[in-house]
Amino acid sequence: MLIFQDFLKALGQLGDARFLRVVALGLGLSLALLVGVYAGMLAVIEWLVPASVEIPWVGSVGGLDTLVSIGSLALMIGLSVFLMIPVAALFSGLFLEDVAQAVEDVHYPGLPAVTPLKLADTLIDALNLFGLLVAANALALIVYIFAGPFSPLVFWAVNGLLLGREYFMLVAMRRLGREGAKALRARHAGQIWLAGTLMAAPLSIPLVNLLIPVLGVATFTHMFHRLNAAAQIPANAARPGNAPRP
């Protein structure tokens, strides 16, 4: 299957210094964000949960805040699975250019230079995807409850649709501009959704999920060049300057 070939090419470049730099930055930022969220959770627990309570015939029972805090650590580990989906999307948008350029330098030499995506546009797209993923997963919680044993499949499918759509757009816009990227994405929507779903599944695995944003950008870079070559759409050296946002 061609999607797996794209992924294996990306995996084979994981030792690239530029890949490792982005992995290290993503790891640090992800951990910092998760630690910050957990610290905020602990502060709320200490504010709401008393250090001890009086129980009739027993007396004062202490350590409740500590017990709840320990339980919150297990809860946070579980929540990190859901948090890493939007976090991965946010950080990938920030480091997209480094990874995509590293892939093209090794596998597609001789391509004309691109005009890098503007930082402001990249941040807006990344933040939009971050918010969309958070909102979609919040709404999908109801579906997850009723899906029972199939809830992981629903989770991967929902996030795969959004991740695949936006990752492909971010990569393709470097060469085709926004409108060209949208046209190519529309032709291969099913394949892009499947690739996004295959990316969302390992994002559910702690530690492994820290590598997926880099591998995801690299995989979609290979996918773009494969699909673009098949469609025989010329990859322009620069993006249209005033392409409208969707």
- Condensed to tens digits (0 to 9), the pLDDT of residues 127-173 reads 777 777 778 777 777 787 787 888 888 888 888 888 898 889 889 98
**Average model confidence (pLDDT) for the chain?**
76
Q: Supply the range of the domain harboring residue 101.
A: 2-12+81-231
**How many domains would you assign to the chain?**
1
* Most confident option among 15-24, 40-49, 89-98: 15-24
Give the residue, 131 or 6, on which the prediction is more confident.
Answer: 6
Q: Tell me, yes or no, whether 51 lies in a domain.
A: no
Q: Tell me, yes or no, whether 29 lies in a domain.
A: no
Residue 187 has pLDDT above 90, yes or no: yes
Q: Please check whether residue 11 is in contact with residue 215, taking contact to mean a CB–CB distance below 8 angstroms.
A: yes
* Per-residue model confidence (pLDDT) at position 246: 44
* Per-residue model confidence (pLDDT) at position 9: 92
Residue 30 has pLDDT above 90, yes or no: no
Q: Tell me, yes or no, whether 32 lies in a domain.
A: no
> Residue 109: how many CB atoms within 10 A of its CB?
7
- Any idea which of 25-39, 41-55, 101-115, 129-143 has the lowest mean pLDDT? 41-55
Q: Please check whether residue 213 is in contact with residue 152, taking contact to mean a CB–CB distance below 8 angstroms.
A: no
Question: Mean pLDDT throughout 6-13?
Answer: 91
Q: Please check whether residue 91 is in contact with residue 29, taking contact to mean a CB–CB distance below 8 angstroms.
A: yes
Q: Tell me, yes or no, whether 89 lies in a domain.
A: yes
Residues 87-130 have pLDDT tens digits of 766 666 677 788 898 999 999 998 888 876 676 777 777 777 77
| Residues paired with residue 53 on neighbouring β-strands, in sequence order | 61
Question: Mean pLDDT throughout 56-74?
Answer: 49
* Per-residue model confidence (pLDDT) at position 195: 93
* Per-residue model confidence (pLDDT) at position 149: 83
Q: Tell me, yes or no, whether 100 lies in a domain.
A: yes
Q: Tell me, yes or no, whether 62 lies in a domain.
A: no
With a pLDDT cut of 90, the percent of the chain lying above it is 18
Q: Tell me, yes or no, whether 98 lies in a domain.
A: yes
Distance CA 51, CA 62 (A): 6
Q: Tell me, yes or no, whether 239 lies in a domain.
A: no
* Per-residue model confidence (pLDDT) at position 59: 40
